[in-house]
Amino acid sequence: MRAIKNTPTSQKELAMRQPKGLLKGVVKSRLITSFLLFLVLTSATAVLQVNTYAYQQNPNQKSQLESNETSVLELLSHYPQDKYSVALGLEVRETKLYSIIGYNPTIIDVSNASNPVKLGEFVYDSGIFNAITLRDNYLFLGGRYGDLEILDVSDPTNITKVGNMSGTGIVWEIVFDGDLAFLASGNKGLVIVNVSVPENPVEIGNYNTNDLFAMDVRVAGNIAFVANSNENGNALVILDISNPKAPREIGHFEDKIYKEMSGHSVALNNSQLYLGTRGYGLFILDITNITNPQKIAQHYFNTEPMGGPLNDENVMDIFIYQQYVFEAAGDWLYVLDATNLLNLKIIGVFSSHMCFGVHFDAARSILYLESRFGGIFIFKVNFQSNAEAGQKQLLIAILTPTAGLMLLVTVILLYKRKRIPPFSV
């Protein structure tokens, strides 16, 4: 009879019985598979780390806000503690801040941003001002009762009223070009006033239609860009003001998807225009062709960074510095890195009730936020912290797959030198 050989029972014996070439193939296959899986996982982790505070953007879709681990904002102070501010704008010149505290135009010394000190105020018994703008030593105030008020603030401790003009409508913003003041005056449209004599301002022209409610205005040369809050009209109206007595419309913007969208605020950045809207976030437009602006992107925060109910996206004010955008929107202050216009990155966020005005002092890296029911918040902006975080994350994204490759090479070399046992099959 033929003898029957004993069947090997150990994995080691089975491994020894395998053909040498097959064993090497299996080991190499498993090593490569493990390495590829390792690369996929580490690369995915690295991408997530790089995009920690980015939200992805499709120009025709709403964006999703992701977590914000690093903020460039450092709160220095809050003024005042016992009152609230009701102005929709604020002015900062060197170390003086001009705002409305309660009913009163107030001048605040912010030379020490951590300890703001009131220098003086002009007392009103009633009235709410929506706009405040400084020109030379004169403070121009636009109110809800159809008046333009002009104060001499050359001596902050002795502010005096020097002029006024009635019939302006509800003034939401005031900007200047030479001796002309351009007023975004609600249902009165754009009102143009000669203020060469502050004691005697004179209206010289206006532009208005039934579907125009002017909320904000910016002027560049002979062109005025007006944010229109009337949902029946165009969110942005562009006017030729070369003849200030007879402005005429030469262009407009209406989104093809959100036709009922209304404009609340506007800011210029070379050939780009940032349009803040009511309920639809921030639009970035290409205004190379002034008569036909084109949408570059829409950025919409449909998830609040700190949780809570969805906040209506009323973008009330925008300030642009280099590649950074400061945005007062609803109950939030956002600091955005707009290096990539299609993928703005949130690098700072702060919450306060009804954020209406924002101003950035680049020379001191100080940011001022005006909250209608919160007063004035003063921040230090540390752009360097954002840059360092980005560099660190980029380094992680590069080094993680590299470390995996080095690990694979080490394993192969050790295997070839018989320093590690073969894998079992």
Task: Name the more confident of 18 and 412.
Answer: 412
Task: Name the more confident of 180 and 82.
Answer: 180
Q: For the chain, what is the mean pLDDT?
A: 79
Q: Mean per-residue pLDDT for 376-392?
A: 74
- Contact between residue 94 and residue 136 where contact means Cβ atoms under 8 Å apart: no
- Residue-level pLDDT at 20: 52
- Is the model's pLDDT at 79 over the cut of 50? yes
- Alpha-carbon distance of 136 to 178, in angstroms, equals 11
- Residue-level pLDDT at 1: 43
- Residue-level pLDDT at 70: 58
- Residue-level pLDDT at 116: 95
- Residue-level pLDDT at 44: 39
Q: Mean per-residue pLDDT for 368-382?
A: 91
Long-range contacts made by residues 52-58, C-beta under 8 angstroms, separation at least 24? 52/389, 52/393, 53/345, 53/346, 53/347, 54/343, 54/344, 54/345, 54/346, 55/299, 55/301, 55/343, 55/344, 55/345, 55/346, 56/343, 57/297, 57/298, 57/299, 57/342, 57/343, 57/344
- Is the model's pLDDT at 126 over the cut of 90? no
**Residue 17 counted as domain residue:** no
**Residue 395 counted as domain residue:** no
Percent of the chain at pLDDT exceeding 70:
69
- Is the model's pLDDT at 300 over the cut of 50? yes
- The number of domains in the chain is 1
- Alpha-carbon distance of 63 to 352, in angstroms, equals 22
**Residue 97 counted as domain residue:** yes
- Residue-level pLDDT at 250: 97
Task: Find the CATH number of the domain harbouring 164.
Answer: 2.130.10.10
- Is the model's pLDDT at 267 over the cut of 60? yes
CA-based nearest residue to 97, from 315, 377, 348, 306: 377
- Residue-level pLDDT at 331: 86
Residue 118 binned pLDDT confidence (cut-offs 50, 70, 90): very high
CA 338 to each of CA 106, 121, 333, 357: distance values in angstroms, whole numbers, following the listed order: 33, 38, 15, 20
**Residue 110 counted as domain residue:** yes
Task: Name the more confident of 210 and 204.
Answer: 204
**Residue 271 counted as domain residue:** yes
Residue 238 binned pLDDT confidence (cut-offs 50, 70, 90): very high
**Residue 396 counted as domain residue:** no
- Alpha-carbon distance of 107 to 100, in angstroms, equals 9
Q: What is the reported pTM?
A: 0.75
Q: Which residues pair with 216 in a beta bridge?
A: 227
Within its chain, how far is the Cα of 194 from the centroid? 34
Task: Name the more confident of 161 and 408.
Answer: 161
Percent of the chain at pLDDT exceeding 90:
53
**Residue 394 counted as domain residue:** no
Tell me which residue range forms the domain holding 287. Answer: 73-388
Pairing of strands 236-240, 332-337: unpaired
- Residue-level pLDDT at 81: 67
- Residue-level pLDDT at 301: 66
Instruction: Identify the sign of the CA torsion 160, 195, 141, 156.
Output: negative
**Residue 56 counted as domain residue:** no
- Is the model's pLDDT at 359 over the cut of 50? yes
